[in-house]
Chain A
Amino acid sequence: MTAMAPILPAASIANPHPPVSAGRVFLALLSRDIRVARRELPFFLVRTIMQPMLFVIVFGYLLPRMGFTQAGYQAALLPGILALSLMLSSTQSVTLPMVTEFGWTNEIEDRLLAPISTNLVAVEKIVNAMIQGIIAALVVLPLARLVMGPVAGFTFSHVPELLVVVILSAAAASAFGLLLGVLINPQQIGFMFSLIITPMIFFGCAYYPWRGLDVVPWLKYAVLVNPLVYISEGLRAALTPTVPHMPLIAIVAALAVLTVGFTWAALVRFRIRAIG
């Protein structure tokens, strides 16, 4: 290489750059994740839309027309489908990248070297997953409504309740996703879907209201360990309140407790994975 100007300006030694605020670093980390999500938009949409829309077509369109469902079932189903979209998208958008970046490539290193606390690097992952989960629900809502046709009892009149439920649901699902992402290793991904995600989907009260489980009392209480139950019931309380649902206060309390619990556990485990 021929002689040339110094690779870095000498002035940066005598006058090092001033410290950067945590908020600014946080936004830079978030903008990186949003850039990656935008690049992967087609995959995101397929991942987000595919499963919920297949269920909508079968349970919200075909079965009602065949006469296999009662009137009003769609009002119970639509919030459940939105809950499913929100949870799956939030969880997957953080779990899979974390498993890969910690387990295979160690490529999260450059973010762990950013001048910000390791906890905030983890929190940024949760915030990014929340955004993706909420976008997923917003994409699925009009499509589901289009396929199902008019849904009796569906209302947007409970906006404050809706906002609280959506934000807490996204937070709980994203923190859960981060916890899974830092707990499991790449070889366990298939195991995770078979043993954790699939039972969560089917016992998450997405396709039936929780009160419907009165017919199987032990299951009614067993499913309470499943975060998706509170997301489904919360969206019913906010969007189709005429469908029997858990009390809103219980839903909000459960989602808040789950968010705090999952976040705490995920941060502890994230720090262990991040700092040897």
Chain B
Amino acid sequence: MTPAIATEGLRKVYPATGRSGAAAGPAVQLPPSASNGAGAGQVVALEGLDLVVNEGEFFGLIGPNGAGKTTTIGVLTTRVLPTGGTARVAGADVVRQSVTVRQRIGVVPQRPNPDRSLDAWENLIYHAAYFGVPRREAARRATALLERLEIADKARMKVDQLSGGQQQRLMIARALIHEPTILFLDEPTVGLDPNARNSLWEILRDLHRQGRTIVMTTHYMPEADELSDRIALIDRGRLLALDTPAELKRQTPDGSLETFFIAKSGRRSDT
């Protein structure tokens, strides 16, 4: 069976100045004498990352700030061009077949970035249209998603009038409206209250039960523990550990994922 996601030696080095693009966190800034092929001032975000995510798997990605989580999501969602290595999503190469990849994925960004010229409803309808969903069907799906995410009463509001949490729920609806088989979520519960977070967890469990592949980054260890089939801990663009939550926790004296995180990365998870 083709894995949902496979990366081999994935590498991303940002240029020394004027890093552009949406998805990047500070990673490792190289000193002038750096010996790994990158120049002075360049930022190495990913350093030979090998990952395989199976179809239908809920895959948690954890790591300190600047570990390379967002860059990994950026590459896998075709929004960041890798410097080296390969990445395939849904069987398609993220660079050479980016359009095929985009067809299959849904993305919930780290910070809500709705289309501010449109209202909440139109955000969903037009996004669906970009994926070829007929208008009537898009309207049916938008109604169901807004109901389920409990923002149906905000449908005709300009997105600026929505709270941060409501905008985040709109982003989740947007990521789902074209019914992707692989879902990427970059710290999706930041800014959500506990009720909204539980609701989102339920939705993610539901999507997972259906057999959709989910890749989620988080700083919130209970979230990674609760939802993931497997968790990858990355830091400085490298994979430090990859296993089931139970197995990772078994490696610590107190059986806590937080303890594992700190021991492996040498830093605290900044929840």
Beta-carbon contact of B100 and A19 below 8 Å: yes
Q: A32-B129, A107-B116, A112-B79 are in contact. Are A276 and B74 (CB under 8 A)?
A: yes
Determine the distance from Cα of A32 to Cα of B114 in the docked complex, in whole angstroms. Answer: 13
- In the assembled complex, the CB of B217 is this many whole angstroms from the nearest CB of chain A, namely 16
Beta-carbon contact of A12 and B179 below 8 Å: yes
Is A36 at the interface (CB under 8 A from chain B)? yes
Determine the distance from Cα of A72 to Cα of B118 in the docked complex, in whole angstroms. Answer: 47
Determine the distance from Cα of A10 to Cα of B144 in the docked complex, in whole angstroms. Answer: 15
Beta-carbon contact of B207 and A107 below 8 Å: no
Beta-carbon contact of B206 and A107 below 8 Å: no
A25 neighbours in B (Cβ, 8 Å): 130-132
Beta-carbon contact of A107 and B114 below 8 Å: yes
- In the assembled complex, the CB of B132 is this many whole angstroms from the nearest CB of chain A, namely 3
Q: Which listed residue, B14, B122, B210, touches A6 by the CB 8 Å rule?
A: B210
Beta-carbon contact of B22 and A115 below 8 Å: no
The closest CB in chain A to the CB of B183 belongs to A8
Is B202 at the interface (CB under 8 A from chain A)? yes
A35 neighbours in B (Cβ, 8 Å): 118, 122, 126
Interface size on B, residues (CB 8 A): 57
Beta-carbon contact of B113 and A114 below 8 Å: no
**Binary contact readout A166-180 vs B (1 if CB under 8 angstroms, 0 otherwise):** 000000000000000
Determine the distance from Cα of A117 to Cα of B108 in the docked complex, in whole angstroms. Answer: 20
Is B77 at the interface (CB under 8 A from chain A)? yes
- In the assembled complex, the CB of A83 is this many whole angstroms from the nearest CB of chain B, namely 28
- In the assembled complex, the CB of B224 is this many whole angstroms from the nearest CB of chain A, namely 21
- In the assembled complex, the CB of A262 is this many whole angstroms from the nearest CB of chain B, namely 20
- In the assembled complex, the CB of B145 is this many whole angstroms from the nearest CB of chain A, namely 7
B116 neighbours in A (Cβ, 8 Å): 105, 107
The closest CB in chain B to the CB of A111 belongs to B130
Is B61 at the interface (CB under 8 A from chain A)? no
- In the assembled complex, the CB of A110 is this many whole angstroms from the nearest CB of chain B, namely 5
Beta-carbon contact of B113 and A107 below 8 Å: yes
B176 neighbours in A (Cβ, 8 Å): 7-8
**Binary contact readout A233-276 vs B (1 if CB under 8 angstroms, 0 otherwise):** 00000000000000000000000000000000000000011111
Is B181 at the interface (CB under 8 A from chain A)? yes
Is A29 at the interface (CB under 8 A from chain B)? yes
Beta-carbon contact of B118 and A36 below 8 Å: yes
In this complex, the interface size class of chain A, counting residues with CB under 8 Å from chain B, is 35 or more
A16 neighbours in B (Cβ, 8 Å): 104, 179, 181
Beta-carbon contact of A17 and B131 below 8 Å: yes
Residues facing A in B169-214 (CB within 8 A) are: 174, 176, 178-179, 181, 198-199, 202-203, 206-207, 209-212
Beta-carbon contact of B132 and A275 below 8 Å: no
Beta-carbon contact of A36 and B179 below 8 Å: no
Is B264 at the interface (CB under 8 A from chain A)? no
Beta-carbon contact of A276 and B114 below 8 Å: no
Q: Which listed residue, B14, B103, B144, touches A115 by the CB 8 Å rule?
A: B103
- In the assembled complex, the CB of A206 is this many whole angstroms from the nearest CB of chain B, namely 30
Beta-carbon contact of B131 and A115 below 8 Å: yes
Residues facing B in A68-122 (CB within 8 A) are: 97, 105-107, 109-118
A112 neighbours in B (Cβ, 8 Å): 79
- In the assembled complex, the CB of A240 is this many whole angstroms from the nearest CB of chain B, namely 38
**Binary contact readout B124-139 vs A (1 if CB under 8 angstroms, 0 otherwise):** 0011011111000000
Determine the distance from Cα of A6 to Cα of B202 in the docked complex, in whole angstroms. Answer: 10
Q: Which listed residue, B19, B109, B144, touches A109 by the CB 8 Å rule?
A: B109
Q: Which listed residue, B131, B174, B199, B206, touches A20 by the CB 8 Å rule?
A: B131
Q: A1-B202, A272-B20, A276-B79 are in contact. Are A113 and B148 (CB under 8 A)?
A: no
Residues on B facing A (Cβ under 8 Å):
14, 19-24, 74, 77-81, 98-100, 102-105, 107, 109, 111, 113-118, 122-123, 126-127, 129-133, 144-145, 148, 150, 174, 176, 178-179, 181, 198-199, 202-203, 206-207, 209-212
Given contacts A1-B198, A17-B133, A28-B130, 7 further A-B contacts (CB under 8 A): A17-B132, A20-B132, A28-B126, A106-B22, A107-B113, A109-B109, A113-B105
A-B contact pairs, 22 of them (CB 8 A): A6-B210, A7-B176, A8-B207, A9-B179, A17-B131, A19-B99, A19-B100, A19-B103, A20-B103, A20-B132, A24-B132, A28-B130, A32-B118, A32-B129, A36-B118, A107-B116, A112-B79, A113-B130, A114-B131, A117-B98, A275-B80, A276-B21
Residues on A facing B (Cβ under 8 Å):
1, 4, 6-10, 12-13, 16-17, 19-22, 24-25, 28-29, 31-32, 35-36, 39, 97, 105-107, 109-118, 272-276
